[in-house]
Amino acid sequence: MNIALFGQSFDKVYFPGITRLLRELDEHGHQLTVFSEFADFLEQRLGRHYSRQFSGHGDLGEPELMISIGGDGTILNTLVHIQGREIPVLGINTGRLGFLSSVSTDQIDDIIRALNDGSYEIESRSVLEVKSSADLFTPVNWALNEVAVHKNDRSSMITVSAFVNGVYIASYWADGLIVSTATGSTAYSMSCGGPIVLPESETFVITPIAPHNLNIRPLVVPDHAVIKLVVEGRDNQHLVSLDSRSETMENTHTLEIRKAEFTMCFFRLPGHHFVETIRNKLMWGLDKRN
């Protein structure tokens, strides 16, 4: 199998597990193309040299799988390289929490077995597409987790007016507003009081950031909806974030958010389910009486 390998530097505690993974992939005949900056790290720290490298979307080629080594932020960065090609991504966690990169280095045998016998599952996740009159984030105007508008660091709160399919919903007096996918419901949205949504749910979640109103709550909308956001504030600029990427936008511009025409695909080991991840990572449902 042709495999692209993307990653970030990781702690030496993971060296044995990642070394074993790379050795097993080589021994089973899988062809690796490694992100150039990550290839330098692997050569310096693990002594493994890879001549087949890529530096971005343009020279990635046509891999059948991308392995992401790092945390959830690393997974989000793979979207920049994959863009709309729906290449399955396997996330191996060498970060902290690991919702998306939920496979540990203790599961190397399971990974190799699944690759060799084809017993893995492919899970598709919705992606957000953002259009703005300011033409931000082009050509990679997509987000897997969320789109957020928020005030500048030194400004007071902003007013974000939200429209769904052209229908006015509310004006949020807040530090900002998040529009998340079901995947992103366990990220920034959850930290701001939004609900946890199962990944297969065809929904978006609109969650205010620190609203100055007791009557405002998160709102779940169908993912075929088009969401428009209009911002007002004392400062004439605000920030817009797509996952971990941010740009400044003038208040005179508007944002339009919709479901992208493609999905992001994830490689899943057989028998794994999302609820196991939230139980193990967030201690969801933990009760000493059980």
How far is it, in rounded angstroms, from Cα 194 to Cα 219?
Answer: 8
- Catalytic residue at 72? yes
Quick count: other Cβ atoms within 10 Å of Cβ 181? Answer: 28
Which of 19, 227, 203, 27 has the alpha carbon at shortest distance from 131?
227
How far is it, in rounded angstroms, from Cα 264 to Cα 271?
Answer: 20
160 pairs with which residues across the strands? 172, 231
Which of 219, 136, 140 has the alpha carbon at shortest distance from 177?
219
The one-letter code for the residue type at 23 is R
How far is it, in rounded angstroms, from Cα 162 to Cα 229?
Answer: 5
177 pairs with which residues across the strands? 149, 208
How far is it, in rounded angstroms, from Cα 203 to Cα 181?
Answer: 7
How far is it, in rounded angstroms, from Cα 151 to Cα 238?
Answer: 5
Catalytic residue of the set 59, 72, 110, 153: 72
**Residue 284, SS3?**
coil
Q: List, by residue number, the catalytic residues.
A: 72
